[in-house]
Structure 1
Amino acid sequence: MITPSPLPRVAAPQLGVPESEALGRVRAFADDLGRRRTVRDFDDRPIPDGVLEEAVRVAATAPSGAHVQPWRFVIVTDLSVRERLRAAAEAEEREFYTRRAPAEWLAALGPLGTDADKPFLQTAPALIAVFEVHLGPDSPRPYYVKESVGIAVGFLLAALHLAGLSTLTHTPSPMKFLNDILGRPAEERGFLLIPVGYPAPAATVPALVRKPLDEVLVRI
């Protein structure tokens, strides 16, 4: 077995944040992200040029297993393609709501008011299809794929929020239609479909309450 050569080493980044500012910075970041909400009613206002690309650049800075970076982000703004994605997603969602989903799952979704109709896939000015990249002719075997892609998506959502944009993490299943419509190879597997844009003027969201810190944090 050939042992690969180690990567050259460089100095670790010293971010230079004064200790006196550390708490304030992270608290302000938490307060800002605390305003982020899933939106299902989008305005058709276009997104400024370059914003989506820079948000994907943020996502691509995420750590990944063995540094394989097993992700692909496909930005879709073409209306006809968004219409096709909506039709395909709604077909899968009708199966989910009428046949696949157990009663307990449907009961959990009930208060959120979700159903098989997904107009946001057409009305949002952009969709970002996120794919896991598995072993293929031009891609190496990845490790910790879902963990890696999940972290990258978290970075992506935070970056889009920072730009003043709203998002929704849509997970129709199965998602093979993403490969068919977007022309992606078999080694790329759909992970999420994210509508991106500005909320419609009359958009509302459920009055959710997040768990307090003492319910989600354990110190040892």
Structure 2
Amino acid sequence: MSDGPAMIPAPYLGVSPDAARERVATFTEHLERRRSVRHFADTPLPDGVLETAIRAAASAPSGAHVQPWRFVVVTDPEVRRRLRDAAEAEEREFYERRASAEWLAALRALGTDAEKPFLTDAPAVIAVFEVHRGPHSPKPYYVKESVGIAVGFLLAALHQAGLATLTHTPSPMKFLNEILARPIEERGFLLIPVGYPADGAEVPALARKPLEEVIVRL
């Protein structure tokens, strides 16, 4: 007898070929409009939207179904200020001492630097953690892959709600555990400011690689 979960029929959505093409085209066209935004308005977010988007993220597949993720929603202005101070300290170290000239040149083209005002300007910041083995958590498998998939779901859900996001990865991120009172088995993965673009906000005019450069057919 198996000691795993009870088995149920696999879901069948019954989507016709024509409907499949239409649905995926509509979803793709909408998702292609998503851009990373660095200038946010302080407009409040609709009630419940973050929670529903995180439900979407938590529906992602994970190694051995351990679900090794934690999403900390930060709206308190003082906590966001502390996050910004700590992140900027790490970023100054990166820009001044750790980054290669080639890396700095690539970032300069996008107009980024050690200043991270989006961490205090956006009305919410979601801190995403990997959950490793601990007193209340089992050994996870394929942690980064699992959390990465969940973050992809989260970004898509927030975009669907009409919200702008940015994925920010200061390194190292140990300061997140102290500021957000997270246990040692949780390790910072990234920060996601969430909100509406500020008036006049701009993004770089970037072109994505054409499909034929990213797909291989065998």
Q: TM-score range by the shorter chain?
A: over 0.9
Counterpart pick for 2:55 among 49, 54, 57 = 57
Aligned-partner residue type, residue 161 of structure 1: H
Q: Distance in 2 between matches of 1:4 and 1:209?
A: 51
Structure 1 residue 197: Cα displacement: 0.2
Q: Choose which of 25, 28, 33 in structure 2 pairs with 1:27.
A: 25
What is aligned with 2:87? 89
Aligned with 1:108 (options 102, 106, 109): 106
TM-superposed CA distance for 1:16, in Å, is 1.6
Match of 2:123, as an amino acid?
P
Residue number in structure 2 paired with 1:164? 162
- What is the distance in 2 between the residues matched to 1:97 and 1:4? 53
Give 1:4 shift.
6.8
Matched residue, 2:175: 177
**Alignment TM-score, normalising by the size of structure 1:** 0.98
Q: Does residue 202 of structure 2 align to residue 189 of structure 1?
A: no
Task: Measure the CA separation in 2 of the matches of 1:191 and 1:130.
Answer: 5
Tell me the residue number matched to 1:134: 132
Quick one: which amino acid aligns to residue 122 of structure 2?
A: A
Pick aligned residue for 1:42 from 27, 40, 43: 40
Runs of 4+ in 1 over 4 A off after TM superposition: none
Tell me which residue corresponds to 1:215: 213
User: Aligned-residue CA RMSD in angstroms?
Assistant: 1.0
Residue identity opposite 2:126 in structure 1: I
Residue 112 of structure 1 aligns to a residue whose secondary structure is coil
Which SS does the other structure have where 1:130 is aligned? strand
| Code of the aligned partner of 1:43 | A
Listed one character per residue, the Cα deviations across residues 91-123 of structure 1 (whole Å, up to 9, x for unaligned) are: 000000000111111111111010000000000
Task: Indicate the residue corresponding to 1:77 in structure 2.
Answer: 75
TM score, norm. by length of structure 2: 0.98
3-state SS of the aligned residue for 1:204?
coil
Q: How far apart are 1:19 and its partner, in Å?
A: 1.8
The answer on 1:68 being equivalent to 2:66 is yes
Please state how far the C-alpha of 1:199 moved relative to its aligned partner.
0.1
Whole-Å separation in 1 of the counterparts to 2:118 and 2:48? 22
How far the C-alpha of 1:6 sits from its partner, in A, is: 2.5
Measured against aligned partners, the alpha-carbon deviations of 1:180-211 in whole angstroms (never above 9, x if no partner) come to 00000000000010000000011000000000
How far apart, CA to CA, are the structure 2 residues paired with 1:188 and 1:135? 9
Helix, strand or coil at the partner of 1:132: strand
Unaligned 5+ segments in structure 1 are: none
1:175 counterpart SS class: coil
Task: Give the letter aligned to residue 34 of structure 1.
Answer: E
Secondary structure class of the residue paired with 1:85: helix
Cα distance in 2 between the residues matched to 1:64 and 1:82: 29
Report how far residue 63 of structure 1 moved: 0.2
Q: How many residues of Structure 1 are paired with residues of Structure 2 in the alignment? A: 218
The alpha-carbon deviation at position 17 of structure 1 amounts to: 1.3
